[in-house]
Amino acid sequence: MASVIKPADLEPDQTSAIASLSDKLRLPLSEVRRAYLKELDRLQAQARIHSFLEALAFNRTRSVLRSRKRPQPGA
């Protein structure tokens, strides 16, 4: 699913949070931005109340990216 929201549409606080998460997880900024936009799109499509979507998308992005970094058992 292609993102409806473009990186240029992000607010400065969103851009800053994405950069901070990229640094913290030691992942490329583009990967974190792409994951965030995907989560935000997914949440917007399902939400009836949009007040906290950015915070929910950020938390979900962090969880998804952290789980990708963990070594798989038996690997």
Question: Residue 30 is part of which domain span?
Answer: 11-62
User: Does residue 6 have a pLDDT over 90?
Assistant: no
| Residue 44, domain member (yes or no) | yes
pTM of the model: 0.78
Helix (H, G, I), strand (E, B) or coil at 17: helix
Cα distances (Å, whole numbers) of residue 20 to 23, 46, 70? 5, 27, 19
| Residue 72, domain member (yes or no) | no
| Residue 45, domain member (yes or no) | yes
Express each pLDDT in 44-68 by its tens digit.
898 888 888 999 999 999 999 999 8
- Tell me, what's the pLDDT at 9? 84
| Residue 5, domain member (yes or no) | no
Comparing 71 with 23, which gets the higher pLDDT?
23
| Residue 56, domain member (yes or no) | yes
Q: Give the chain's domain count.
A: 1
- Tell me, what's the pLDDT at 5? 79
- Tell me, what's the pLDDT at 75? 55
Cα distances (Å, whole numbers) of residue 12 to 19, 27, 39, 70? 11, 20, 18, 30
What value does the mean pLDDT take over residues 28-34?
Answer: 95
